[in-house]
Amino acid sequence: MAKDKVAKSDYGAKEIQVLEGLDPVRKRPGMYIGGTSTEGLHHLIWEVVNNSIDEAMAGHGNDILVQMMPNDIISVRDFGRGIPVEIHPQTKKSTLETVLTVLHAGGKFGGEGYKISGGLHGVGVSVVNALSAWTKVEVCREGKIWVQEYKKGIPQGDVKAVGKSDHTGTTITFQADPEIFPEIKYSWTKVLDYVRQQAYLTKGVKIVIEDRREAPTEKEEHKIRRHGFYFDGGIVSFVKFLNRGKIVKNEMPVYVEKTVDDVAVEISLQYTDGYKEHLYSFANNIFTPEGGMHVTGFKMALTRVLNDYAKKNNLIKEKDGGMTSEDLKEGLTAVVSVKLRNPQFEGQTKSKLGNAEVRGIVSSITAEGLVEFLEKHPTNAKSMIEKCLLTVRARIAARAAKDAVLRKGALEGMTLPGKLADCTTRNAELSELYIVEGDSAGGSAKQGRNRMFQAILPLRGKLVNVEKTSLDKVVKSDTLKPIIIALGCGIGETFDASKIRYGKIIIMADADVDGSHIRVLLLTFFYRYFEDLITNGHIYIAQPPLYRIQKGRDVRWVYTDEEKDVVVEEFRLKAVEKGAEKAADKKAAKAADKAAMLESGEITEEELEEAGGEVEKIAGVTIQRYKGLGEMNPQQLWDTTMDPEHRKMMKVEIEDAEEADRVFDVLMGSDVEPRRRFIQTHAKTVKNLDV
């Protein structure tokens, strides 16, 4: 038997790539800043700002200046101690260069440099340096100004003293690298919100932000946007800010502050008449959107203390049972902030706090402070408990209504709504549910769809504004109940996003005022009760065409007025060109006839001039404006709005949860005055108003 030949492998030591210095950051930026999208881009600013705030929390410098400069340049200045510049004993280089070019180098791993810090990993400023086209660092320290510059993380010279200074601090200026970030466009609103948030969390620190992108010189001061933030009230002011314009239950927010075992805990909470929870948690001023042990401890104490108080003061009836953690979420606005020496975050983006010891500390501090507040302020306490008990009763009513719906469906031999035209496939990733306005459009959609993967649910009846009603009424609604059942993922405490029956839920409404209103009502419904579906990219808005434009056999579907103008102009130019060709031929023929007539004496030159000229007419273009989906036949609806190869859809995303919540509250809430102000403010910017 012949021996098998072994193929020669090119895989050897030379194929093993060793990334040195900041190379790993440029190769895999997502590992350090979460990605290269707009979130990752702004994360560069957060890293530098957090370093300055760490200095402030350590008691060094109370002023921070953030500047957005022309050409997408960012500058952050603080008045802290300044990064050390002396030779580092390990790297044998300047400490400043070490901090800017070596991962996991910083004063936050031990010692007395920082007892509390948001920059746990020591990679923040070095990552910013690595992902920037250029970086410049100025340090005021020891009476001198020290400077070093970098390109893509590589030093362009040694640290040098360039002048004298009578103060201390660090200024870091950088320009994000277009080789790393596909789009470099900073959001003033996003940066403003972050800076405001940090000012709330750091009492007594003043943070100023300037937008100088439209003012390249100091003489153009009128073009500079500037905001300063300074809050003595800290997170209490933060809670009041979050609840601005809302009806609150306890006019005085709960505030608890205490330090135990080097863990500083600050908590503030207030209940509103809303149905959504707004809980913001922070560890060392770093926002932890996924919560962690500090949030777990807070919720444990909140549930225990409010139940004990309600029972002790006979505010809760036996038939209501106890209040669950879910019951206490509705209408709760809370800020939970902890500051500790050695935080254990999950990942560089620090989305969750994992320190187990924090849970017990936060729980005991919350319980102690909450008990004291409830005893001292019985009126506020009663309002809070009554709000929570309303939620309990609504939960019980909603469960009964939901069970009745399911029982009824089972008895009738079906669990899905009768109006639903379901699709064949059971693969949620492939299937789509169209929620269609009106029976007429629903009929066209049912006939025009691809039955394999497209399901149609026509809306019937008046939609409930969920912003003004409770869960039990939502579940009983004749319009919303079929949607809840069709989705299959439950609602309220039974909600489970993994059980969703359709990968895409598409809202398809008319392109008029009524259609816009229906879209807003449905978006409010999904945002308040199915926010995870939006976050996970399941919710879409169909874009039916506004116009059908035809000239001869050439038919175009257009979706905006601007697009309509372009197409009409295109048709017009073609008609002009074609008319010009015909006119030229006609002119030549007329010239020949004219010459023959003159030559034969049939007409004189004077008689020809008196006859005058002719006007050519350009052929017209047929423009049909669609205001209703029902005006389109099934084939047209498929071609324009439902065919995956040609349709246009908008994915619904939440860029700023806090701002989204505020807008929903203003536009759909019970208070009329904020809505009136919003309309007056934005009335002049409305385009294509349909009245």
* 10 catalytic residue (yes or no): no
On whether the CB atoms of residues 47 and 59 are closer than 8 A, the answer is no
* 273 catalytic residue (yes or no): no
3-state secondary structure of 219: coil
- Contacts for 191 with CB less than 8 Å, ≥ 6 apart: 42, 45, 66, 68, 209
The three state secondary structure string of 106-122 is CCCCCCCCCCCCCCCCC
Report the b/e string of 340-355 with b at 16+ CB within 10 A. bbebbbeebbbbbbeb
Instruction: Measure the CA–CA gap between 418 and 403, rounded to whole angstroms.
Output: 18
Catalytic one of 47, 177, 510, 661 = 510
667: DSSP letter: H
* 437 catalytic residue (yes or no): yes
On whether the CB atoms of residues 652 and 269 are closer than 8 A, the answer is no
Catalytic one of 149, 514, 532, 563 = 514
**Order of all β-strands in the sheet with 622-625:** 554-558, 547-551, 622-625
CA atoms within 13 A of residue 369's CA, in its CB half-sphere? 20
* 512 catalytic residue (yes or no): yes
- Contacts for 7 with CB less than 8 Å, ≥ 6 apart: none
CA atoms within 13 A of residue 646's CA, in its CB half-sphere? 15
Length of the chain: 691
Q: What angle do CA 437, 461, 643 make, to 5 degrees?
A: 15
3-state secondary structure of 169: strand
Transcribe 63-119 into DSSP letters.
Answer: EEEEEEEGGGEEEEEE-SS----SBPTTTSSBHHHHHHHSTT-SS-SSTTS-SS-S-
Q: Measuring CA to CA, which residue among 231, 36, 55, 237 is closest to residue 127?
A: 36
On whether the CB atoms of residues 664 and 583 are closer than 8 A, the answer is no
On whether the CB atoms of residues 115 and 136 are closer than 8 A, the answer is no
Cα Rg of the chain, angstroms: 33
Residue 153 falls in which region: left (phi positive, over 0), alpha (psi -120 to 50) or beta? left
Q: Which residues pair with 557 in a beta bridge?
A: 548
Give the residue carrying structure tokens 């933060």: 238
Instruction: Measure the CA–CA gap between 398 and 405, rounded to whole angstroms.
Output: 10
Catalytic one of 512, 563, 631, 658 = 512
Instruction: Measure the CA–CA gap between 89 and 86, rounded to whole angstroms.
Output: 9
Transcribe 375-397 into DSSP letters.
Answer: HH-HHHHHHHHHHHHHHHHHHHH
Catalytic one of 437, 472, 531, 665 = 437
Q: Distance between alpha carbon 210 and the CA centroid of its chain, in Å? A: 23
- Contacts for 21 with CB less than 8 Å, ≥ 6 apart: 101, 102, 153
The three state secondary structure string of 541-559 is EECCCCEEEEECCEEEEEC
On whether the CB atoms of residues 509 and 543 are closer than 8 A, the answer is no
Please report, as a single letter, which amino acid is at residue 252: M
Q: Outline where DSSP puts E strands in 308-405.
A: 332-339
Instruction: Measure the CA–CA gap between 657 and 655, rounded to whole angstroms.
Output: 6
Measured from the Cβ of residue 414, the count of other Cβ atoms closer than 10 Å reads 12
User: CB pairs under 8 A, 24+ apart, for 86-92?
Assistant: none
Give catalytic residue positions: 437, 510, 512, 514
